[in-house]
Amino acid sequence: MNSLKRLLLFSALSLALVAGLNAAQAQTATVDLKKLFDNYWKTKQADAALKERGGELDKKRKDMIEDARKLQDEYNKLLETSGDQAVSSDERKKRKDAAEKKLLDLKELETTLGQFDRSARAQLAEEQRRMRDKIIAELRDAINAKSKAGGFQMVFDSSAETGNGTPALLYTAGLADLTDDVLKQLNSTEPTFPKATDPKPAAPNGKKEDRK
């Protein structure tokens, strides 16, 4: 009789354990945060804006380099002609003084260019950081909302990696994945613009053709 009771108790405990594991599994889900970030329309929009800003800064940098090249050419010419014995000593001195001034201008521009490079890199890095933080916050809000609606108590990032670069989450069989649902919800907010319609061709008499 005691053996039967122990068997029944063990069976009940086993069923309770399995039910508990199934319940815990049902309350846990995964999401690929990297996939969400890379495919969110706001990420693509922000990347395009950063690329455009980088292009503007690069153009300004190229203009500064072109100015430096012109100053270098002017300096070389003045320095070369400052030793021309066919002109007066006053003229040679005047050209030499002008060459020294060009050299100072060139060094100043080179210093400005170096400062510009450091400032541009810092500016782009800060804009990128702000963009990333803002988007990550929006992703977290969307994940939290989807998790609460689905009754999930824990959501793991399936794209997370350890300090060694290996996947942090090694086994996810049976767990719900919220990635596609969250991504669909996020991208549903992308604004759409009506496509421009082609004008109707003019009729031979000069009036627009009425297409039916």
Q: What is the CATH number of domain 27-161+175-187?
A: 3.30.910.20
- If we measure between CA atoms, which residue out of 73, 133, 71, 59 comes closest to residue 108? 71
CA distance 93 to 13: 104
**Would you say the pTM of this structure is higher than 0.85?**
no
Mean pLDDT of 193-202: 60
Comparing 88 with 133, which gets the higher pLDDT? 133
Listed by start position, the domains of the chain span 27-161+175-187
The residue with greater pLDDT, 17 or 202, is 202
